[in-house]
Structure 1
Amino acid sequence: MRTTNTENRSGPRGHLVALADAAEEFSVSVKTIRRRIADGTVTGYRVGRLIRVDLDELRDRLAITIPSARP
């Protein structure tokens, strides 16, 4: 039986993308994505020789809500 990414509880929740695509999506550099993988903020997944990241995880970990000064 073959499992998909959403069925594998220890793996990624969404779909995996290349570092360049993730960097473009969040308007950061590939180097920034690599730093976040190295410091443990984001999980990197090795697929053969390539490194991929989960866009949903990046969105959760990198996007920070800035509180408003107005009530």
Structure 2
Amino acid sequence: MASENRSQATTPQLVSLAEAADQFGISVKTLRRRISDGTIHGYRVGRLIRVDMNELRARLMVEMPTSR
């Protein structure tokens, strides 16, 4: 079972730019800029561009340090 969980975690969850932008509350234009500057990877499926939600969670969601 552990190997099943590991393979699911590494399996890309490709979604459209519009769906990803909606999920993260950012614009499609921002996602296109991040693909262009190499911050995230874009995947072309025919004429469509897809992004991996797992990668977006890892790269766009950065924990902010707290002051004590």
Bucket of the pairwise TM-score, normalised by the shorter protein: 0.7 to 0.9
- TM-score normalised by L of structure 1: 0.79
4+ runs of 1 displaced by more than 3 Å? Answer: none
- TM-score normalised by L of structure 2: 0.82
SS in 1 for 2:31: helix
Deviations 1:2-38 (A, max 9, x none): xxxx59xxxx732100000000111000000000000
Aligned CA RMSD, in angstroms, stands at: 1.7
State the one-letter code of the partner of 2:57.
Answer: R
**Structure 1: where are the runs of 5+ without partners?**
1-5
The answer to which structure has the higher helix fraction is 2
In structure 1, the partner of 2:24 is 26
State the one-letter code of the partner of 1:38.
Answer: S
Larger RCO: 1 or 2 (CA < 8 Å, sep 6+): 2
**Structure 2: where are the runs of 5+ without partners?**
1-6
Q: Distance in 2 between matches of 1:14 and 1:46?
A: 13
State the one-letter code of the partner of 1:36.
Answer: R
